[in-house]
Structure 1
């Protein structure tokens, strides 16, 4: 794939990694950009399509981002923001509570989750690891309900059925269970 990119930059006609990803992702629809556009970091490239974008970077290859995830990616500064470049294709996730499927897409700096008909949220770092230990969206805390938010000397993130708090000394997961909320046991 990298050789095709080099050939295209040198005036060749080889298929690029973005072209190959688009061909493998017919859900993207019609192409909106002529060729590929450089990213602000000067390393990657991207192309816009009717239902998403394809981003390429030599360290991550080419990955399609659906428009429903792209809104969060744009909000966080695209590839120059904390997410960086996509590292995998999006995955459709079934919702055991019946609101319809959701999406998850991994990036260099975390994962964007979007539940059907809900906003997308970014999960990463120690809070993301603690949430994963509870079973992620299928666990006791359910789907993300906010991005991380600053709180006192740490951070917290709301989930469908609770919150995870992080301060430099510890991380605590709380399940909504009335007053007071119930701390969840640490994973083994």
Structure 2
């Protein structure tokens, strides 16, 4: 990738929070750990698009080319992507009735779609393009 300068190792930041630079932007703490577990800038999320920001109820979030990672003290850090991310954000994201993500997106057992659990519900993306949520 042009202009990509990933750091191979996390460094200590001033707040003694683990951090590393990917694509010229810093990624920190729990969001960094999840980002690295998903392949960092070479994975499905790609490069960070901005810096880490505050989210509802003391949480944090960071946007990436392929989705976002949300962290809260209660749930840890989890990526939300694609149509699930679009529906979730359209319903006020972590501040809405469904809350923060609690796991990663997975295939349904019958392979007819994908789903992701959140604090107060689940969002499904079906292979026919429909997306639905229960909270």
Same-fold call, TM > 0.5?
yes
The equivalent residue for 1:144 is 101
Any gaps of 5 or more consecutive residues in structure 1?
1-40, 57-61, 96-100, 176-188
TM score, norm. by length of structure 1: 0.62
Shift of 1:116: 1.5
Secondary structure of residue in 1 paired with 2:6? strand
Q: 1:134 and 2:91 equivalent?
A: yes
Q: Contact conserved, 2:101 with 2:118, CA < 8 A, in 1? A: yes
Equivalent residue, structure 2, for 1:92: 54
Aligned partner (choices 12, 20, 34) of residue 53 of structure 1: 20
The DSSP-based 3-state class of the residue aligned with 1:65 is: strand
- Larger CA Rg, structure 1 vs 2: 1
Q: State yes or no: 1:171 paired with 2:131.
A: yes
Structure ranking higher on relative contact order (CA contacts 8 Å, 6+ apart): 2
Are 1:54 and 1:65, in contact at CA under 8 Å, matched by a contact in 2? yes
Q: Which runs of 5+ in 2 are unaligned?
A: 13-17
Q: Does 1:124 align with 2:81?
A: yes
Q: TM-score, normalised by structure 2?
A: 0.85
Q: Does 1:108 align with 2:65?
A: yes
Alignment of 1:70 with 2:32, yes or no, is: yes
CA RMSD of aligned residues (A): 1.6
The answer to whether the Cα contact below 8 Å between 2:56 and 2:95 also exists between their aligned partners in 1 is no
Task: Find runs of 4+ consecutive structure 1 residues off by over 4 angstroms.
Answer: none
